[in-house]
Structure 1
Amino acid sequence: MARPLVAIVGRPNVGKSTFFNRVVGRQLAITEVEPGTTRDRLYAEAEWAGVTFTLVDTGGLETGATTDLVAKVCDQALQAVSEADLVLFMVDGKDGLVPADQEVAQILRQTNKPVITVVNKADNPERRLQAVEFYRLGLGELEPVSALQGTGIGDVLDLVVQRLPRPEPEEETAALRLAIVGHPNVGKSSLLNALLGEERAIVSEAPGTTRDALDTLLDTLWGPAVIIDTAGIRRRGRVEPGVERYSVMRALRAVDRAEVVALVLDAQEGVTAQDTHIAGYVRDQGRGMILVVNKWDLVDKTAHTSAEYEKLIQAEFNFVDYAPVLFLSAKTGQRVKRLVPLAFEIRAEWTRRVPTGVLNQVLAEALEKHAPPSDRGKALRIYYVTQAGVEPPTFVFFVNDVSLVHFSYQWYLENQLRDAFGFRGTPLRLAFRPRRVAKVLGSKGGRKPP
């Protein structure tokens, strides 16, 4: 049985995201005094009294949608209700019962879902007493809370765990964590929707529509995967205060949480400076990476277009030349199904270990093909290598003098490791440590270093 799901719904600006953050214990949803801040469904795991469930934050429900985007936000909220085992209907105790609450209540009655009415902003005894007016909605159980102060949250959660179906214990399987990142309006949310087969994140022509990092669990033939869709990452100078700044921070944190990152590029726009900045950040964080060229259906193609475009991308991203390039169209679905298995393949490389004996055999062959450099008559000697870690694969070379290690020879050694073992899609970390006495690999007669 799947983990039970609890959806938080209500009209805009009643404190749904503040309540969500309070329950999950971290600031996942953006919270500001601005109606409509939450646009997509935001999922997080929560636990109370030994019961684990999925909590869903939604955008505000407005029955009289005035724009296409508002209508899409409402559709997302209704989709969350349809998926939910239990609905938390949040209202504003400061405003009191308003017609918009009655309209939302009417929608919820038609779903036949169990509902708990949560009266937020009941910050003092007077407001807690006034909360009884919401019984007029006819939805049953009611709890006054202050999400900002944290009062009453436990009482709501007690009701939640009483009303939820108890899931059967399942064997835990480590899910792939795949982040979808890129600058605004390259089609990240469209790609997520194509992977899921439904409109999970809002898709709009307006840049920056997605402002939260969205975690979605996807069951695949290769195992479970958590797909993290993020707000578009902008240059620091273009980040405005408030919501936009939080979105960029969250997108970068999504990279930190990921194992593999799909950097989405716009096939028509080409490679931008911001694309290369993002790739550099992903590399520096040691994450696996796929360069995803989206909107490939909009490119006029010849028999050589793909190869020529790939050469262009590899030239622009020569500092992450290990990252495979995947041409796809989120709109038509072309090659979208190749993304997830490729991400699993890269995670396997990202966590791969090589036996020390095999490593040193490759090192000996590399030293024989291309001897280490010398500096002012002193030769670099490499004694042996061992793998010190994974995520990403990290190798330590023991040498006579670290100052003799030239960056060009580091590149050579990295290329030799890749030629021998692959490591497609993952960065490698090479470290060099001094070792005073050891047998020199590749030296004649087993000579000792001076």
Structure 2
Amino acid sequence: MPRDPRGRRRPSLERGIRFRLLVVLVLVMGGVLVFVDIAVSRLSRDFVLTRLEHDAESLITSLVVAGPDDWRITDNQLPSVYQRAHSGHYYILSGPDRTDRSRSLWDLTFEVERLLPGETRVGIRRELNGQTWLVWQLGFEKGGQVYSLWIAEDLAPLQMEQRRFESVLLLLVLVAVAVLLWMQRRVLRRGFARLKPLQRELEAHRLGIESQIPESLPEEVAPLVDALLSVLERSDQQIRRSRTALGNLSHELKRPLQQLHSLADRQSGPDDREALMRVYHQLHERIDRELRRARIAGTPSPGRRFAPAEELPYLVDMMSRLYREAPRVELDLPDVDTLPFDRDDVLELLGNLLDNACRHARSRVRLSLRRVETAWRWDVEDDGAGVVEADYERLAGRGVRLDESDRTERGHGLGLSICQAVVDSYRGEMTFDRSTLGGLRVRVVLPVP
């Protein structure tokens, strides 16, 4: 029995579908059988009633004069079924002075209700010997005298045939249900078998083998596969960005390490100690910067959408903790619950932009969000010294630093290259220009996926 990693039994789509189909078939077939039973019973009853009416007409027309104002049925005009004891066909003719009974009644005696001419009655009568009779009564006038004709037929033979027919029908229904369940199982397994190539390709992707997701997938699972592929693509992009960030970090650390190596080869004097400390502080600041970015990103939540009103105050609070003299961060946000972008991606993007802005700002940083046609636009601005216009295009380059001479190493390069990778993953655009606050403005436009 397949179980999940926690040891719990996994639900089965096939068993669930088969069970629901079985319930539907039982309800439908049960309803059909009930309908057939009612319909056949009614048809049988109507058939017997019609035959009783015809027999009554025959009996009335066979009446002969037995005396003054006396009519009776002679035996030579009776069908044989009325002369054989307990044959299942019976009649009683009740007149003013006498009552004639069919020989088939034998020793059964009971009173018959007298009816007016033209009056009829239909009913069911059950006898002690287990017979069930359908009874039809008619009142009529003959030779100026009023007679009542009681005529009945045993329903047992028809009921037996009806039960035999319904038993055969039930057997056929059970066979049909079994065949339908068997066919459904084959169809489901053949349908699920079309997902095997997808399973193999996903397993190859997990093992790092180049894979190609099949295109001919059932339309019922296509949205699920598309969502899965989107998550895998986003995961691949995040991994590539992580590798890029590690490469950038290695690039940033290479020169200080080379300087340390060069100084270590020499005999260190007082001047060299000062140089070594300067290089040490450079390394410490760059490593600390990466730790700040990790804190900004927070706990990874793949696939979760970004909620500006919930996440951005957290980022602002984080900046105030990271910098002792943190600038005032202003938020200009529309009334929107969530954005159709991955939370981790946007936190990484805005975290790096706000980190750069806070490090360069004098006292103010502004973050604004606007909807622009089929895209969302972020503007991150500061009131710092800014960057000369000629260097805007170089800012997003990998490992580019526009202030190598600045010994405090407060450059934009590493963080902005990571931001550019996030923007590229959404086929967006990141541009730079002068802010109305006086410093740099970074504008990011991400189209809605």
TM-score, normalised relative to structure 1: 0.18
Higher helix share: 2
Q: Decide which structure has the larger Cα Rg and report it.
A: 2
